Structure 1
Amino acid sequence: MHKGKGMKFVGDSRVPAERKASQIPKDYSEYPGRTEAFWPNFLLKEWLVGAVFLVGFLCLTLAHPSPLEGMADPTNAAYIPLPDWYFLFLYELLKYEFASGPYVLLGMIGLPGLAFGALLLAPFLDNGPGRRPHQRPIAVIMMLLALVSVVWLTYTSASHVNWEERAEMNKPIPPTEVEIDTSHEGFAAYETSCLQCHGDALQGSSAAPALIGTEHTAEEIATIAKEGIGSMPANMFTGTEEELEQLVDFIISVNEQAAE
């Protein structure tokens, strides 16, 4: 630092912290037009770029609101969770053969670790003095490759999901208070075969869905009780045909009451 010229802070990651005496350059103020003061010039530009990006992002969220789903429902065993949009590229990566199945650890840890590690090492692998893209080919190529990969994987994953329909399907079902008629002749069959999984008020549990609000017909309920569906095994109901009819009538009557 020369007398009267003041101290200059330069925003450049390529300037090492420790340098030999023979490598110490001249004062940066001796290169007019090629350097600038960190405060306020350099920092003001950073703030302006950040403000423009933030305003643009807020306008995008107002124009295209995120199709949020309902609150998490631990009793819905059929729900398939998806990561947030900024992790969709990692989710899509796990769909490829080389990153799934027996190679899932490679997809979860190996490939992302190599990619992010390479980006961290990019400034050290290409520390040339030039600032223009063609003067720093290694860093530019690595950054473009990472950007294209993330955008492509995110787009591919998002294009296979109808987000509005998914949000509509996963809206929380408001709790319906119904009075269970324990004197109904089908309640005994329900208590014996169904209550343990579907709950004492047909509200469902982590092991089985709710029976209130079901859109199945009487014939479909009878078939499901005997043959099962999804994760529900067959032959869960072991009563007689008469008891099965009473069970179906009980479930239908409770749903009719809830619909009123």
Structure 2
Amino acid sequence: MKRGKGMKFVGDSRVTADKQKFIPKDYSEYPGRTEPFWPNFLLKEWLVGAVFLVGFLCLTVAHPAPLEKIADPTDTAYLPLPDWYFLFLYQLLKYKFASGSFFVLGAIVIPGLAFGALFLAPFLDKGKERRPHKRPIATSLMLLSFIAVFWLTYEAASHVNWEEKAANNKPEWPSEVEIDTSHPGYAAYENSCLQCHGGELEGGPAAPTLIGVEYTAEEIMDIAVNGINSMPADQFQGTEEELQQLAEFIVTVNEEN
């Protein structure tokens, strides 16, 4: 600054002259029930999520999901089912319009359209209203989806006896029974009995275990030929000598274990 020349001011374009303090919007201008996202709305979401998580954990502790045995490709009586959150899709594929030659329609097209509609719902309904009866498109899609998923899941689960399924498919721990495969009767057991009673005489869904039975060799021979309870007759295929060896093999296994 020089005497008599006055003052000179230098401006900087990076500093705005009319900078205003951030002021939240007046939510009263929006129709329906409104509130700030932070912290009001987000806090409510966290609380609801925490309550749901705690309730779900308590449910899993009180009613744990039953474990099943190791997959057996030779077990034709086993009924495979997907996890509960896929049961509605499993039920959908049972209907004629979504199975057989229309498998692609039921597995890809229908689920794709359903999830696509839910994905596009916010873009199709851009109104500022939050009340359900003022948002017909989004409300209708959500209600239709909920009803469809609930009904299909119920239909899929209602045809399954879950207690019987859990009882018939309990996990099998490694057996401590020692099987002498060099015994003359093991070959006869392998040819006629192994498919139903298992490789270690542990039994299966259609046959009881042979470990712990108190039958004599003569009684075992009679059962193998004439059957017992749900076991039909003529299950044994072999000679009289092989039948005798089979009975002695089962008796020997029970005596040693």
Same fold per superposition (TM over 0.5): yes
Q: Which moved more, 1:146-155 or 1:41-50?
A: 41-50
Letter in 1 for 2:136: P
Using the aligned pairs only, state the percent identity.
49
Normalising to structure 2: TM-score of the pair? Answer: 0.68
Instruction: Indicate conservation of the 8 Å contact 1:130/1:136, yes or no.
Output: yes
**Corresponding residue number in structure 2 for 1:256:** 254
Structure 1 equivalent of residue 75 of structure 2: 77
* CA displacement at 1:80 relative to structure 2: 2.7
Cα distance in 1 for residues equivalent to 2:98 and 2:226 = 40
Give the CA deviation at 1:209.
Answer: 9.1
**Runs (5+) with no aligned partner, structure 1:** 9-27
TM-score, length of structure 1 as denominator length: 0.67
Question: How big is the shift at 1:115?
Answer: 0.9
Report the Cα offset of residue 148 of structure 1.
0.5
Is the contact made by 2:69 and 2:171 (CA closer than 8 Å) also made in structure 1? yes
Q: Indicate the residue corresponding to 2:28 in structure 1.
A: 31
Q: After superposition, where does 1:144-183 map in structure 2 within 5 Å?
A: 144-174=143-173, 175-180=175-180, 182-183=182-183
User: Residue in 2 aligned with 1:124?
Assistant: 123
Which residue identity does 1:154 align to in structure 2? T
Aligned counterpart, 1:98: 97
1: CA distance, partners of 2:126 / 2:245: 76
Residue in 2 that maps onto 1:88: 87
Q: For 2:59 and 2:205, how far apart are their aligned partners in 1?
A: 37
Q: What letter corresponds to residue 77 of structure 1 in structure 2?
A: D
Structure 1 residues 212, 52: CA separation in 2 closer, same or farther (over 3 Å shift)?
Answer: closer
Residues in 2 aligned to 1:252 and 1:85: alpha-carbon distance in whole angstroms: 42
Q: Deviations over 1:1-28 (max 9, x none)?
A: 982343x5xxxxxxxxxxxxxxxxxxx2
Equivalent residues in 2 for 1:1-260, closer than 5 Å? 3-6=20-23, 8=24, 28-29=25-26, 31=28, 35-63=34-62, 65-74=63-72, 77-78=75-76, 79-174=78-173, 175-180=175-180, 182-184=182-184, 186-190=185-189, 193=191, 202-203=199-200, 213-214=209-210, 218=221, 221-222=224-225, 237=237, 239-240=238-239, 242-246=240-244, 248-250=246-248, 252-253=250-251, 256-257=254-255, 260=257
Aligned length: 221
Q: Name the SS for the 1:31 alignment partner.
A: helix
The runs of 5 or more residues in structure 2 that have no matched partner are 1-17, 214-219
Quick one: structure 1 residues 235 and 245, their matched pair in 2 at CA, closer, same or farther if it must change by over 3 Å? closer
Distance in 2, matches of 1:93 and 1:40, equals 42
Aligned amino acid, residue 182 of structure 1:
S
Structure 1 contact 93–107 (Cα < 8 Å) conserved: yes
Cα deviation, residue 179, structure 1: 3.8
How far apart, CA to CA, are the structure 2 residues paired with 1:126 and 1:219?
76
**C-alpha contact (below 8 Å) 1:211/1:251 kept by paired residues:** no
Distance 1:151 1:211, change over 3 A: closer
1:169 deviates by 1.4
Cα RMSD for the two superposed structures: 3.9
Q: Which amino acid aligns with 1:145?
A: L
CA distance in 2, matches of 1:76, 1:172: 16
**2-side partners of 1:89 and 1:138: how far apart?**
23
Structure 1 residues 36, 210: CA separation in 2 closer, same or farther (over 3 Å shift)? closer
Distance 2:171 2:187 in 1: 30
2-structure distance, mates of 1:103, 1:223 = 48
CA contact (8 A) 2:188 2:243 kept: no
Amino acid at match of 2:105: L
Instruction: Kindly provide the CA deviation profile for residues 121-176 of structure 1, in whole angstroms up to 9, marking residues without a partner as x.
Output: 11112222321112111111111010001111111211222222221211123314
- Cα distance in 2 between the residues matched to 1:74 and 1:105: 29
